[in-house]
Structure 1
């Protein structure tokens, strides 16, 4: 679709700078590493050691998230015409892999301590420190996940979920160390640490799956499709109709393409004005959305020969998108 030189730039291309959340994650990771390492040094608990190891992984992941968000925020260039929003998916994949590293360290250490149990010391102060670190991680995790949902950032969602696994780890460690204090059976510490490691692996698998889906141009969520198709159905009136709807997302960016079939006698100006109004309505409904439309004459059979094999259905079962409407 062509546009006049005086057309204002579409606001949908605006992205939000999310790097401040990555800096928050880095600061939190440094604070929790310091707290948990001190707790491990005082108690000798393998559970606390595994907890501190995961926080170290959190720091590395937070730095990777900062790099990814910095790259994703760069504007489009002649080489990257659609920007670099997909850098966020690489960050999420790295987060998932780092979770596997943390889980491996925890599992190996837990097995070694189960075979060679050792008495724990200074449990009271050690547990207090872990509780403080867990509260800090939990608050920041909620902030990151909320921001990730609000701005459609997989990097922040992944970092928040990563921190939340740290909270789960800490909760497991607290249970294990508490049971050791109550029962005197030192191997409980290692068993709980092992269970926590398995739980972290499950989280890592979920993050990797989400990152891979994004890199493979996953479609927009069903809720967004409902909003789009509702608008297109309301505008289908026998003289104008639509087909070939496709969508995808890349980080904060969301994209859609659709074929717009209009009366043959419309002028280019008429069609252009109609599409501008349609795109404005779609952006108003969905916020940040890049809309690409393809204008076609409604009665030309060739207009029905280029429908993509994979597309989102717009109309009901009684509507055949491959045939011109009957009047």
Structure 2
């Protein structure tokens, strides 16, 4: 499913780009040009996301025993970098247009075309975000959030240009483009920061940790306690390890059964994930969970 949506992002982003370029051609607006430049990044990002999802979907092999999920984080980092690059290009165009802002004779038609492109983007972004969160796909989530910045950009540009046309203050056009660029810079930084956390094996989020602890505690059985729980996320998989303390005289088979019960419950909640349980005798009790 992730690959299918990543693939569909390519023609949709190309269609949106074509509409925005047409809107810029009809209006001559530097703000609409900035909007189109961001959509160029959307096309490249869609290609990257599809490639990353394809690689991430490969099963583990001898060289990559933990799978290829981090390919999605790499894609998201590159996408964040492209967002920043788009913002810098927009800033350049806007600053150059400040001394002599101007619009063509058909701005209304251009705004209608841009509004259509924005509507298509919005529908697709909501779909990508929903699927990305459901499937825990960093690549799809990054693409969706990038498109949302594009939507915010487009709405702001459209409203600003309508105001410029109503008042005759054409200087609003490049000023809008500059504001758009600053917003895109911030969004690009957030995408990069989150993706780098994934590459650097940042700890699980608090909701994930809470879910893991709840499952372990509900399935301890005759075990005495657990401690030193830690974990990390890699796309839609999590990797967790902890120490489980049992009575020193318990048989290996009985202790193994407890581990199997806990692991089965965890895998039911986090399919495809990896859990490592270190067994310890009661001499290792920490007297706290």
Q: TM-score range by the shorter chain?
A: over 0.9
Task: Summarize the alignment of residues 254-269 of structure 1 with structure 2, pairs less than 5 Å apart.
Answer: 254-269=238-253
Deviations 1:207-258 (A, max 9, x none): 0110111111112221121222223334557752111111100111111111
Where do 5+ consecutive residues of structure 1 fail to align? 1-16, 305-314, 322-327
Task: Summarize the alignment of residues 3-18 of structure 1 with structure 2, pairs less than 5 Å apart.
Answer: 17-18=1-2
Name 2:76's counterpart in structure 1: 92
Name 1:324's counterpart in structure 2: none
Name 2:43's counterpart in structure 1: 59
Separation in 2, partners of 1:235, 1:24:
42
Deviations 1:109-168 (A, max 9, x none): 111111222233211111110110000001111111111111111111100011111111
Q: Are residue 225 (structure 1) and residue 209 (structure 2) matched?
A: yes
CA contact (8 A) 1:176 1:193 kept: no
Name 2:114's counterpart in structure 1: 130
Matched residue of 1:259: which SS?
strand
Matched residue of 1:115: which SS?
coil
Separation in 2, partners of 1:274, 1:119:
72
Q: Are residue 75 (structure 1) and residue 44 (structure 2) matched?
A: no
Separation in 1, partners of 2:55, 2:223:
45
Name 1:167's counterpart in structure 2: 151
Separation in 2, partners of 1:239, 1:116:
76
CA contact (8 A) 1:47 1:176 kept: no
Separation in 2, partners of 1:112, 1:247:
50
User: RMSD value over aligned CA atoms?
Assistant: 1.7
CA contact (8 A) 1:224 1:286 kept: no
- The structure where helix makes up a greater share of residues is 2
Separation in 1, partners of 2:221, 2:60:
37
Q: Are residue 187 (structure 1) and residue 171 (structure 2) matched?
A: yes
Where do 5+ consecutive residues of structure 2 fail to align? none
Deviations 1:301-322 (A, max 9, x none): xx46xxxxxxxxxx9xxx446x
Separation in 2, partners of 1:228, 1:126:
52
Matched residue of 1:99: which SS?
helix
CA contact (8 A) 1:172 1:193 kept: no
Could you tell me which of 166, 183, 187 is aligned with 1:203? 187
Q: Are residue 241 (structure 1) and residue 218 (structure 2) matched?
A: no
Count how many residue pairs are aligned between Structure 1 and Structure 2: 289
Separation in 2, partners of 1:285, 1:129:
45
TM-score by length of 2: 0.95
Separation in 2, partners of 1:82, 1:135:
40
CA contact (8 A) 2:225 2:288 kept: no
Name 1:156's counterpart in structure 2: 140
Deviations 1:16-38 (A, max 9, x none): x5111111211111101111111
Distance 1:239 1:65, change over 3 A: closer
Separation in 2, partners of 1:43, 1:297:
75
